[in-house]
Chains A and B, each alone.
Chain A
Amino acid sequence: MTIHSAAEAVPPAKPLAAHGPDVSALLGDWLNSDGGAMSKGPVRLTVARSETGVVVRATGWGEVPAVVYTAPGAPSTAWSFSAVFAHDGLRTLVSAYHKTGILVATTSTVPLGDGEGPGVWTRSFFHRVHRVHRVHRVHRAEDGS
């Protein structure tokens, strides 16, 4: 028997700045729901806390700091982030928001440098990586063993 825990995908909480919004809804490993089959958007995004805020890692593009955003009138909770990656002569802005357990991400990719020509747009849906734990491990933890 197994249980699935999305919460386990979220890194342990660390204190943020006293006035910073709660970013926990954004944290974790996120998989593109199309599994790369459509070659649209990054295959995987990892959102994690850092000493200075939040970082986003995209498979093949590396890790960059992110800006987190709250919704209007809800300053205590972050529901969105943006992050800019430079890769392969391109600049990609990933803009994502969390809604009902999924992460909806758009990418805007434009050429670096001369800025000539149009860019490319994608919109992808991500779900959290669910880790599988055996129940007896949970029982042991509850027993304090």
Chain B
Amino acid sequence: MTAAGTDLTGLIGGWVNFDTAAAGIRLVDAAEDGGRLALSVAEDRPGGPRTRSALFATPLMDAGGEGPAVGFLAEGRLGPGDAVLCGYLNRGLLTIDVHTVTPGAPDVPPVMYRAHYYRPAPAQPAEPPEGAPSP
């Protein structure tokens, strides 16, 4: 599950859910960690506190195996459930198909939802005060 040699530029960064009202994954921070793609996932659940989970993901390339990573597959624990995250880039946005299964809770059906994320533009440095020396 290494990302060595794979261009992860398109995936790396902080991703924010467009839908500010929906429960589910709010934020995803994607980073390269020791040659792997590491995800830190912040999730809101109805009536519960925000949880953070760490997952490693396998970067995925377009069919043909050339070019940068265009998506990822992550499988692991997400809050109280087991999750499969299928993420892919689409015109600079990240779409994640989130599949969750809650073991030991037969009355809770497996759930899949799709969520869309954007990367906020990096903060611009403030204009220096008038008269301040230029760096």
Contact = CB atoms under 8 A, between A and B. Distances in A.
B113 A72 contact: yes
Contacts, number: 95
A69 B81 CA distance: 13
A87 interface: no
Given A72-B23, A122-B63, A123-B88, A79 B71 contact: no
A26 to B, nearest CB: 12
Contacts of A21: 109
Interface in A85-129: 93, 95, 97, 106, 108-110, 115-123
B93 to A, nearest CB: 14
Contacts of B114: 97
Nearest to B8: A118
Contact of B61 (A71, A80, A121, A123): A121
A121 B97 contact: no
B110 A70 contact: yes
A90 to B, nearest CB: 12
B99 A121 contact: no
A76 to B, nearest CB: 9
Contacts of A7: none
Counting chain B residues whose Cβ lies within 8 A of the other chain, the interface size class is 20 to 34
Contacts of A106: 71, 86, 88, 97
Given A97-B112, A123-B88, A69 B99 contact: yes
A69 B58 contact: no
B111 interface: yes
Q: Which of A72, A93, A109 has most B Cβ within 10 Å?
A: A72
A108 B58 contact: yes
Nearest to A97: B112
Given A106-B97, A120-B65, A68 B58 contact: no
A79 B106 CA distance: 18
Contact of B107 (A19, A38, A118): A19
A38 B64 CA distance: 11
A119 B59 contact: yes
Interface of A: 19, 21, 38-40, 67-72, 75, 79-80, 82, 93, 95, 97, 106, 108-110, 115-123
